[in-house]
Structure 1
Amino acid sequence: MALRIITADERLSASENKTSLAVFGPPGVGKTTLIRTLPADKAVCLDLEAGMKSVQDWRGPSIPIRSFSDFRDLVVLIGGADPSQPADGFYSAGHFAHVQKAFAESGIEEFLKKRTIIFVDSITDLTRQAMAWAKQQPEAFSDRTGKPDIRGAYGLLGREVIQALKHLQHARGKTVIFVGVLEKVTDEFGASAWVPQMEGSKAGRELPGIVDQVISMQLFGRDAEGGWVLDEQSAERRLVCTSGNPWGLPAKDRSGRLDMTEPPDLSALLARIDGRGAPAAALTTHSTSV
């Protein structure tokens, strides 16, 4: 593929201006319901966990995915062929042509061309499906004994998931939102940290470097001075958007346009990231123990 120059005007156009986000939150906080804040005529949910019950009234479409192979086929259909891949490799021109032929009668390719927001629910279940696939591959068995090699399976899992996420993240004109479970982990010394829940460690380590924005969704209350405090008994949800936040939650704002916390509205959030939304009023935030 020939190299091309993208001008500033092109970069700001709808065909080039896109954002990739990873949104993590504990089970039950309402991550999937964030899709209600996205336009039903522009978004599609790639449903890996059969979890649409909580948003069954959302008017947008979803595509149920039961295997990592199906996810990989959808990714190449969305992102097109990667010219750097070998002819017989995944995401290659050959793979793209094969998937186009397989889905020719379904109309999925034309449908996906019209969708500019890809909501992946969830990346946690994606890694589980990928692990089930990886355990069946030759790399997951010892060359010497023929017995299962769990290290080989985890290595393959990490490589394949990261390749899939990068390919989807590079899709032209597509804003991609990865949703995942956030869990609190305590080590043997009693120190606690919030980390994304995924199979293997490679995907969890590398995902923050792939996406533009990392956001944590949590329940918050107010302290006596009006600052936000984590409160699992509260009903108010907030999106934590910047690193160095006092709660130690995973977050990264590459745009530099977000406040430390934002309302749970993805359309408004994307508008602010793109510079189209009005800055929110400054909020006082106080440090607190989790």
Structure 2
Amino acid sequence: MSGLPIISADARMAEPRSDKGVIFGKSGIGKTSLLHTVGAATTLFFDLEAGDLAVEGWPGDTIRPRTWDECRDFAVFIGGPNPALRDDQYYSQAHYDAVVQKFGDPSLLAKYRTIFVDSITVAGRLCFQWCKGQPQAFSEKSGKPDIRGAYGLHGQEMIAWITHLQHTRGKNVWFVGILDEKTDDFSRRYFAPQIEGAKTGLELPGIVDQVITMTEIRPEEGPSYRAFICHTLNPWGYPAKDRSGRLEMIEEPHLGRLMEKIHQPVKPAAERLSFERPEKVTEAAPAAGAPDSLQQQ
């Protein structure tokens, strides 16, 4: 009789570490060029943008899926099967077996340590195009297209795809995507990922380990420079998260060195976590552009 499948602390800490993250930034900031900062021999470029002019001369390997079916096939080939799924579902053992028959021996991927997906924005478009042709995208009564059904299916498909890649053991998976700057009804500026539908953009930060914004910093003196914003609490309101606890709020825009820092030995929890409340707490002022009722309180 087998025992309770508990993973000991020593066994868990001895497991090889990998990180999953997303890097957002405006168009032209240099997201795709980050490929030049990672090891070409151990990186697989998941090229959805067909915008590899930025990495001309980069000597690494590339795959170029053109459809949502191909995106799912590559995801299960990279991440392996999900034992919780039925054989008639994507990412199941049956799906994995069919993809292995199509692509060959999965050991072909053993040399790759990092999967660089460019971009999640285009993946969302391919997914939505596929969703618009599915039965859920049509009204059961009239048979006419139902855009709400298409968006609902799109959210489910994208989250399943991202989650499957998130569970890939032993490989770093980094998505890049476009970051839009928007204004709400009160003329307040905020940032949001450029992805079809709302569900993916809202849930993605809770799935991956790292959320990084690649942006331009303009100091009061001196020239502007590019940087990674890595902390949720940042003065610009950029989307960011550091699950590793090893990064500073501002890091240099070098993905290779960022991953090295994430994989460094972790500091004791008492040194990197603070649960204390400041001795003196002042009431925060309302955000700029807030309703008059809030500003008068």
SS of corresponding position for 1:195: strand
Aligned pairs for 1:59-78 within 5 A:
59-78=59-78
Shift of 1:273: 1.1
List per-residue Cα deviations over 1:232-258 (Å, max 9, x = no partner): x83x21000001100110001111111
After TM superposition, the score normalised by the length of structure 1 is: 0.87
Seen in structure 2, the aligned counterparts of structure 1 residues 12 and 83 have a Cα distance that, compared at 3 Å, is: same
Amino acid at match of 2:99: V
Shift of 1:42: 1.0
Amino acid at match of 2:198: S
Seen in structure 2, the aligned counterparts of structure 1 residues 48 and 3 have a Cα distance that, compared at 3 Å, is: farther
Match of 1:201 among 177, 184, 198: 198
Q: Residue 40 of structure 2 aligns with which residue?
A: 40
Q: Residue 156 of structure 1 aligns with which residue?
A: 153
SS of corresponding position for 1:21: strand
Match of 1:247 among 224, 227, 236: 236
Amino acid at match of 1:269: L
Structure 1 residue 165 and structure 2 residue 162: aligned? yes
Quote the Cα distance in structure 2 between the aligned partners of 1:47 and 1:3: 42
Quote the Cα distance in structure 1 between the aligned partners of 2:96 and 2:246: 37
Aligned pairs for 1:97-246 within 5 A:
97-104=97-104, 109-224=106-221, 234=224, 236-246=225-235
Any conservation in 2 of the 1:196–1:204 contact (CA below 8 Å)? yes
Shift of 1:12: 4.4
Q: Residue 284 of structure 1 aligns with which residue?
A: none
SS of corresponding position for 1:127: helix
In the alignment, structure 1 segments of 5+ residues that lack a partner are: 227-232, 278-288
Once the two structures are overlaid, the 10-residue window that deviates more, 54-63 or 267-276, is 267-276
Quote the Cα distance in structure 1 between the aligned partners of 2:164 and 2:83: 11
Q: Residue 277 of structure 2 aligns with which residue?
A: none
Shift of 1:35: 1.1
Superposition misfits of 4+ residues, deviation over 6 angstroms: none
SS of corresponding position for 1:205: helix
Quote the Cα distance in structure 2 between the aligned partners of 1:220 and 1:79: 36
Percent of aligned pairs sharing the same letter? 47
Amino acid at match of 1:21: G
Shift of 1:6: 3.8
SS of corresponding position for 1:242: coil
Any conservation in 2 of the 1:11–1:17 contact (CA below 8 Å)? no
Amino acid at match of 1:17: R
Quote the Cα distance in structure 1 between the aligned partners of 2:34 and 2:12: 27
SS of corresponding position for 1:41: helix
Quote the Cα distance in structure 1 between the aligned partners of 2:46 and 2:12: 26
Shift of 1:79: 0.9
SS of corresponding position for 1:199: coil
Amino acid at match of 1:271: E
Amino acid at match of 2:238: L
Aligned pairs for 1:4-19 within 5 A:
4-13=5-14, 16-19=16-19
Q: Residue 278 of structure 2 aligns with which residue?
A: none
Q: Residue 266 of structure 1 aligns with which residue?
A: 255
List per-residue Cα deviations over 1:31-53 (Å, max 9, x = no partner): 00011111111111101110111
Structure with higher Rg: it is 2
Shift of 1:100: 0.6
Q: Residue 23 of structure 1 aligns with which residue?
A: 23
Amino acid at match of 2:53: K
Quote the Cα distance in structure 1 between the aligned partners of 2:107 and 2:27: 34
List per-residue Cα deviations over 1:141-193 (Å, max 9, x = no partner): 01100000000000000001100110111011011101000010112321110
Quote the Cα distance in structure 2 between the aligned partners of 1:24 and 1:59: 24
Quote the Cα distance in structure 1 between the aligned partners of 2:68 and 2:131: 9
List per-residue Cα deviations over 1:48-96 (Å, max 9, x = no partner): 1101111011111111111111010000011111111111111111101
Amino acid at match of 1:48: L
